[in-house]
Amino acid sequence: MAHRTAKELFHLGEDLAANYLVGKGLEIVARNYRTTQGEVDIIACDAHNLVFVEVKTRSKHSVRQALRNVAYTKQKRLSAAAQYFVVQDTSWENHRIRFDIIVVLHYADTDTFKIEHLQDAFTPVF
């Protein structure tokens, strides 16, 4: 079994998260959306929600630790980037804004993955 680098795991985790969201009926609007305020890993939508998703890929199997890594400062950056996105494209103004966190756990011994999805992980911080 080949060893995966941290960069490979990062990209694979984001791909798995995007595919997971599509499987749940969401459409991917943007990936790695960058502004001066911050970056959003995935922006997705359905008929009513515009979802800003932070993806954490971990080989250590602690969802709690991954969630701790999305602390107040990160939430503030994500909120600012989301606000910028919506201001730039007013077609989203009737959608509810939601912030999700997806943790992709990698089990190196079997090279398998597990996805934990936390919807409405936090409210916007401005």
Residue 35 contacts residue 84 (beta carbons within 8 Å): yes
Whether 95 maps to a domain, the answer reads: yes
Kindly state the tokens that stand for 87: 């201001």
Rounded CA separation 31/21 (Å): 12
Q: What is the pLDDT of residues 60-86, one digit of tens each?
A: 766 666 666 678 888 999 999 999 999
Question: How many structural domains comprise the chain?
Answer: 1
Does 124 fall in a domain?
no
Distances (CA, A) of 60 to 15, 74, 116: 19, 21, 14
pLDDT at 37: 85
Q: What is the CATH number of the domain that holds 52?
A: 3.40.1350.10
Inside any domain, residue 126:
no
Mean pLDDT score, 34-60: 92
Tell me whether residue 71 is in a domain. yes
Domain limits for position 14: 6-118
Q: Give the tens place of pLDDT for each residue, 114-125.
A: 999 999 999 888
The pTM of this model reads 0.90
**125 in a structural domain:** no
What phi and psi, each to the nearest 5 degrees, are found at residue 8? -60, -45
